Amino acid sequence: MGALHERTPARVIRVAGAVGAALAVSVALSGCGIVERIVADGETPTPTPTAPVAPTPTGPDPVLAWECGQISALSGVAIRTNFEYQTGRLDEVEYVSRLAALQDAWVYMPTYDTAITPFIYDVQVQAAADPSGANQGYIDAINAATAACQEAGSLAVITPLPEMGG
């Protein structure tokens, strides 16, 4: 065998190195074709997921909103109780019982330290005296509390139901 066909360790290493380099170039170039094909076909690579960002709270203080919600709820109960009594849906015993429950709900309602809290105290004093909501002191206190809620950016909605003419 001549010099061309010698199998010396140095020759084997050179041939293996050349084949390896050719293979590496081939793989690298074929990868470029895949990326070009994906972009050419309009496909986009899947983005890497990121950690979710917590939403920034907006609107009124949640405690203040809760207090305004209680004003709405309890005022609605007073309106409905009076309507049902006046239309005969509640008898005297049921009416007095519901007023007692309403009075307790106002007097023992948890309060906090918000811009609305002083207005709730005024309503509580009036409700302790007459929970029906029929006296002017109660009406004035509810109107002031409702206005304070709206000024603070929260809702306090006190309206009769459609069957009551609202």
Residue listed under structure tokens 């360790």? 9
Same domain, residue pair 94 and 126: yes
46, 139 contact by CB (below 8 A):
no
Domain presence at residue 53: no
Domain presence at residue 48: no
Domain presence at residue 35: yes
Same domain, residue pair 143 and 105: yes
Number of domains into which the chain is organized: 2
Residue 12 has a pLDDT of 47
Same domain, residue pair 95 and 29: no
Same domain, residue pair 28 and 86: no
Domain that holds residue 109: 62-164
List of residues 6+ apart from 154 with CB closer than 8 A: 59, 60, 64, 65, 68, 116
Same domain, residue pair 105 and 28: no
142, 71 contact by CB (below 8 A):
yes
Tell me which DSSP letter residue 102 carries.
H
The residue type of 32 is C
* Model pLDDT for residues 41-88, shown as the tens digit of each residue: 565 556 566 666 665 556 668 899 999 999 999 999 998 999 999 999
**pTM exceeds 0.85:** no
Report the phi/psi class of residue 79: left, alpha or beta, with left for phi > 0 and alpha for psi in -120 to 50. Answer: alpha
